[in-house]
Amino acid sequence: MVNKVVLITGASSGMGNATAKLLAESNYIVYGAARRIEMMKELKQLGVKILQMDVTDDRSMQQGVDEIIKNEGRIDILINNAGFGSFGALEDVPMAEAKYQMDVNVFGLARLIQLVLPYMRKQGSGKIVNITSTGGKLASPLGGWYHASKFAVEALSDSLRMEVKPFGIDVIVIEPGGVKSEWNDIAMKNLHDVSAGKAYSQTAEKISNLAYKVKSKSAEPEVIAKLILKAITTQNPKTRYYGGYMAGIVLFLKKILSDKQFDQLMLSQMN
């Protein structure tokens, strides 16, 4: 049996790093891609092949895919994990920052899919795993651009799933809830930089306090790594999987509550 070839973006830390480790230990041929390759020495020791890749740089993505094809002749699984959270009131966030958020979380992801699909179609098989968030199904105050990016990936994944089904390719969405990672610190720093001391500063403080409470209870990234392994080894995978702190509860509440009821729930949690 031929070992499957996997490309994981955002592999320098958090869920991407944990997933790269788990898949390498499970005998996959793993290519871990990230901007900060100096943080990936442990992965290299485990046999993960390191790629320097910036998902906002088309040339680096093309070079990364070309290197995998040159070395392995195929790409079986793409795990689009790279992303970040830029928080701040819609009124305050500079449009350049909003565009960068979409470039990383949406357009970089979509471009990498474009680059791997010709090889997957030729193979007649493949799996594309897009990491979204429970924040791709519900929104919090001051997170508009982050949520917009994750809502977009949910929709892109739904369209893509139907487009590539005739070619034997699966599209799988992973929706993490609270997971320990750098994401929280980066998102809250952006929130402070953008909205502190302005009209929305009180809301920003409440959001920040809530985020750090969630962080203290969040799941380890290995929880999501195991979920991804389950999804890619299932013969007929589900379209969506969720895991992490509060993921199941908040998705259920979003489903059964009206918009105004859910708004009230979110605002009450801030207080």
In this predicted structure, the answer to whether residue 1 has a pLDDT above a threshold of 70 is no
- Per-residue model confidence (pLDDT) at position 256: 97
- Per-residue model confidence (pLDDT) at position 215: 81
- Per-residue model confidence (pLDDT) at position 52: 95
* Choice between 113 and 38, residue whose per-residue pLDDT is larger: 113
Residue 51: partners with Cβ closer than 8 Å, 6 or more residues away = 7, 31, 32, 33, 34, 37, 64, 67, 68
Model pTM greater than 0.85? yes
Give the mean pLDDT of 15-41: 95
In this predicted structure, the answer to whether residue 190 has a pLDDT above a threshold of 60 is yes
The full set of domains in the chain, from first to last, is 5-270 (3.40.50.720)
Q: How far is CA 149 from CA 68, 146, 247, 266, in A?
A: 28, 5, 18, 20
State the catalytic residue, choosing from 31, 146, 241, 245.
Answer: 146
Both tokens of 27, joined, read 């005998």
Q: Is 212 a catalytic residue?
A: no
pLDDT in tens, 32-90: 999 988 988 999 999 999 999 999 999 999 999 999 999 999 999 999 999 988 889 99
In this predicted structure, the answer to whether residue 184 has a pLDDT above a threshold of 80 is no
Percentage of the chain exceeding pLDDT 90: 80
Give the number of other CB atoms < 10 A from CB of residue 232. Answer: 21
Task: Find, among 181, 93, 165, the residue nearest to 131 by Cα.
Answer: 181
In which band, very low, low, confident or very high, does the pLDDT at 181 lie, cut at 50, 70 and 90? confident
Both tokens of 156, joined, read 């892109």
CA quadruple 85, 89, 92, 98: dihedral, nearest 10: 30
